[in-house]
Structure 1
Amino acid sequence: MARNQGLWFFVAAVVAVALLPAPTMAGRLELRNEIEGVVLRKAKLSMRCWSNEDDLGWDVIKPMESRLWKFTTMNMWPFQKTEFRCQFRSGFGTTNQEVVTVFSVKSGFRKECGFLGDECTWVAKRDGFYLRKAIRDKDDTKTFVDILKSKWVWKW
C-alpha cells in the first residue's frame, strides 16, 4: 500500500510540475515610423495599443521616431496569455485589419518575428505596414528583413 502511495505521489508531482507556468521571459515590442518623403502631417502615425492587462492609449509617432515597450510574458500551458493588439492610422489610411496583433506568446507568432522570438518590431512605411523579421545570414550575422503585412487602405 505504501508503495502505491509513493507512486501516486510521484505521478502527482510530475503532473504538477508539467502544469506550472513556464518561466517568465522579457518581451519587447517596438513600433517604428519610417514614413518619409511627404509633409509631416501626412507622415505621422497614430496608434492605440492594449493587452489583456494594460491599455496604452492613443499615441502619435512622428517620422523616424519609435515607441518601445518591454514587459514580462507568461506562457502558462494551456493558457498562452500575453498578447498586444493595436489600431493604426496614417495619412495614407489604416491597416487592412482594423486590429493588428503585434505581439503574442503563441510560438507560431513569435517565429514570425524571427530568431529573437520575444522581440517584435513593426514598421510603418509609405506603402504599408511591415513586420521586421530578425534573421541570421550564412555567416551567422544578425540582419533584418521587412515583410509587408498590410498596405494602407481607406475605410469609410
Structure 2
Amino acid sequence: MGRDLLWCFFVVLAVLSPKPTSAGRLELRNEISGVSSVRKAKLAVRCWSNEDDLGWDMLKPKESRIWKFTTMNLWPFQKTEFRCQFRCGFGTTDEDVVTVFSVKDGFRKECGVGGDECFWVAKKDGFYLRKIVKGFDDDGRKNFVDVLESKWVWKW
C-alpha cells in the first residue's frame, strides 16, 4: 500500500511539475521620426528578467532589438517576466520601469493573438504596445494596432 501511494505521489508530481510552455519573443522598435536631430530620436533601453540583465542598449531610428526566451506558465510557477527602462530625447515613460513581457495575470493576452510575442514601439508622441490582431494584410504580414501606453514625460 505504501509503495502504491509513493508511486501516485511521483505521478502527480510529474504531472504538476513546471514545464516551459513555448518560446517567448520580445521586440522593441524605435519608430521615432520627424525629428531634426538623430541624437534626439535615439532610444536608450535597459531590460532585465529575474535571471538575466540585458544591459543598456541604444536604438537608432528604424532599429529594433529582439530577444527570444523560454516561458514558464504553469501555476504556481508562472515566472517569466521582463522589465525595461526607456529614455529618449523626449523624456522617459511615466512609469520608470515598464513590464514589457509577463506570463502573470494573462499579460501575454494583452500582446495580441498568439500571446507569445510582445512588440513595443517608441514613437515621437509616446511608447506603444503593438497588439497583433487576427488576419493578415495584402502583403501577408500580421495585422496590428498600436495602443499608447505612455506619453514621454520629463522627470527631474
Q: What is the alpha-carbon root mean square deviation over aligned residues?
A: 2.1
Give the Cα separation in 1 of the matches to 2:82 and 2:97: 10
Q: 1:138 to 1:27 in 2, by over 3 A?
A: closer
Residues matched between the structures, number: 152
Gaps of at least 5 residues in structure 2 are none
1:66 — aligned with what? 64
Equivalent of 1:87 in 74, 80, 85: 85
Using the alignment, how far apart are the partners of 1:71 and 1:5 within structure 2? 39
- Does residue 149 in structure 1 map to residue 146 in structure 2? no
The TM-score, its normalising length taken from structure 2, stands at 0.88
Question: Counterpart of 2:108 in 1: which secondary structure?
Answer: helix
Percent identity, aligned pairs only?
71
State the alpha-carbon separation in 2 of the partners of residues 41 and 23 from structure 1: 40
Q: Does 1:12 align with 2:6?
A: no
Q: Residue deviations 1:95-117, cap 9 Å, x none?
A: 01000000112251000001121
Could you state the TM-score of these two structures normalised by the residue count of structure 1?
Answer: 0.88
Deviation at 1:76, TM superposition (A): 3.9
Q: Which has the larger radius of gyration?
A: 1
Which residue does the alignment assign to 1:127?
A: 125
- Deviant stretches of 4+, over 4 Å: none
What is the CA deviation profile of residues 21-80 of structure 1, one whole-angstrom value per residue up to 9, with x for unaligned ones? 133410100000000010101100001111111111111000011001111112242021
Distance 1:84 1:58 in 2: 14
